[in-house]
């Protein structure tokens, strides 16, 4: 049951989807939804264009595209930590061809297919860590835009970010190899990020206990980091504990469910 004494305010519905161009013929948003190209948009735009420049976009010149929209899809939210709520999510950035009307040679835009629209639109996305000030949430009106900070870009683009934990403004991220190596093994990696400076480093690496596993998890206390690994059917659980600086790794519970506190 909720403790009514702890509920100080109703959480507002926050807007995370931002539009920067007048709506195209296939869009459903309105002119009044358009936002100015501010410092937030400029920073996201610059980062996204740099990322696009490293990929193969041979069928179009992104320099001829304008920033259309920025959206944030939250996958996981943290508890309040040091006045912030941290978010693991996907930021989606859309661009529109400046000459889209000339390139879509139809007398009516009503019959456009998604494939045709895709020829004049370009979408790029990236999973990142973000944070929002709790005070901003409290002071934001319902259905209003809220500012959020980008803490980091993906540290291991080729791998899977399974989760994160926060303590004392330090974010610990757990990555899992996307595919097995030549020996058939997969590894887990723990990175630490200073949430104020954005500086990051890999602090721990270990081989997965299970060849077929469910999504692992990471937890943090004042002294330790815990890595939970599960078999594919969740019937078995292994728990590894390391100090916050990644020293003194210990196998707390092995794949047989036995508590051993075995140094690794």
The answer for residues whose C-beta is within 8 angstroms of residue 92's C-beta and 6 or more apart is 69, 70, 71, 72, 73, 123, 124, 125
Same domain, 169 and 129: no
- Do residues 124 and 56 both lie within one domain? yes
CA 61-152-226 angle, 5° bins? 140
| pLDDT value for 11 | 55
Establish if 117 belongs to a structural domain.
yes
C-alpha separations of 195 from 5, 81, 86, 146, 237 in Å? 31, 11, 10, 19, 30
End of a domain among 103, 123, 152? 152
Residue 43 structural domain: 10-152
Taking the model in full, what pTM does it have?
0.78
Question: Do 88 and 189 fall within a single domain?
Answer: no
Same domain, 256 and 191: yes
Identify the domain boundary among 123, 152, 181: 152
Per-residue pLDDT at 234: 84
Q: Kindly state whether residue 21 falls inside one of the protein's structural domains.
A: yes
- Quote the mean pLDDT of the chain: 86
**Least confident interval from 14-18, 62-66, 178-182, 254-258:** 178-182
Residue 202 and residue 132 in one domain: no
Which of 109, 131, 152 corresponds to the end of one domain?
152
Residues 183 and 251 in one domain: yes
Is 2 a member of any domain? no
Number of domains in the chain: 2
In a domain, 3, yes or no: no
Residue range 139-177, pLDDT digits in tens: 877 677 888 888 866 666 667 788 899 999 899 999 988
What pLDDT sits at residue 256? 82
């Amino acid at each position: 049951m909720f403790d009514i004494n702890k509920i100080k305010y109703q959480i507002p519905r926050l807007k995370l989807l931002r539009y920067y161009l007048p709506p195209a013929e296939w869009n459903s948003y309105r002119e009044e939804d358009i936002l100015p190209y501010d410092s937030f948009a400029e920073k996201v735009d610059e980062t996204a264009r740099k990322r696009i420049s490293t990929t193969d976009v041979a069928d179009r010149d992104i320099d001829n595209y304008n920033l259309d929209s920025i959206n944030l899809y939250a996958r996981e939210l943290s508890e309040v930590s040091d006045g912030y709520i941290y978010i693991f999510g996907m930021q989606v950035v859309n661009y529109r061809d400046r000459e889209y009307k000339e390139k879509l040679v139809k007398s009516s835009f009503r019959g456009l297919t998604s494939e045709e629209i895709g020829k004049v639109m370009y979408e790029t996305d990236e999973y990142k860590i973000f944070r929002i000030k709790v005070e901003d949430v409290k002071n934001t009106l319902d259905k209003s835009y809220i500012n959020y900070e980008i803490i980091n870009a993906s540290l291991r683009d080729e791998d899977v970010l399974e989760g994160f934990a926060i303590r004392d403004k330090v974010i610990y991220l757990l990555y899992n190899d996307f595919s097995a190596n030549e020996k058939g093994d997969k590894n887990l990696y723990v990175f630490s990020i200073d949430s104020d400076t954005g500086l990051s480093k890999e602090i721990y690496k270990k081989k997965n206990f299970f060849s077929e596993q469910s999504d692992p998890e990471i937890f943090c206390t004042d002294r330790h980091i815990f890595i939970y690994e599960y078999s594919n059917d969740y019937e078995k659980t292994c728990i590894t504990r390391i100090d916050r600086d990644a020293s003194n790794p210990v196998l707390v519970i092995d794949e047989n469910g036995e508590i051993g506190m075995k140094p690794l």
